[in-house]
Amino acid sequence: MGTKCGATSGMTRFFFYNRAHSRRRRKRGALGLSARRLKSEGFLGAAYSIKLQFLEVRYVLGFFMASVKTSTYVWETLFALSISILGLVLFSFLLGNMQKYLQSMTVRVEEMRVKRRDAELWMFHMMLPEDLKERVRRYEQYRWQ
């Protein structure tokens, strides 16, 4: 690559950096975290490591996108803007549906907990044998799933 004063380009540095560190990355777990490091540094060390990886990805994407020129064509700009707005709207719908699902699950778990407590009190009050109590508990668990 033709560079001035013998300096290497960002892409060349990135390529050789990845090549030199690929052996270490193969030994790591998901997101480049080893179990030993997670135990020694704890959650904050792992979070810092993940943050560094996101910054590295951001640097690489910024490097590749540096050569992209913006368009002055009005319809192309409007199309890109409409696609971005549509993506944000769909993402907000996704978040709303996830929130509604989690809230309904929380309500359902709470209802099941109250029913289980009431059944336990009723079985205690009726002095049912232990095997019958176990069958009632299994049935309630089956019905909840």
pLDDT tens-digit series, residues 80-123: 889 999 999 999 999 999 999 988 888 888 998 999 999 999 99
pLDDT, average across residues 28-44: 56
Average pLDDT across the chain, whole number: 76
Q: Where are the domains of the chain?
A: 7-68, 74-145
Q: What's phi and psi for 92, nearest 5 deg?
A: -65, -35
Supply the pLDDT for residue 130.
93
**Predicted TM-score (pTM) of this structure:** 0.42
Sorted by sequence, the CB contacts under 8 Å of residue 28 that are 6+ apart come out as 34
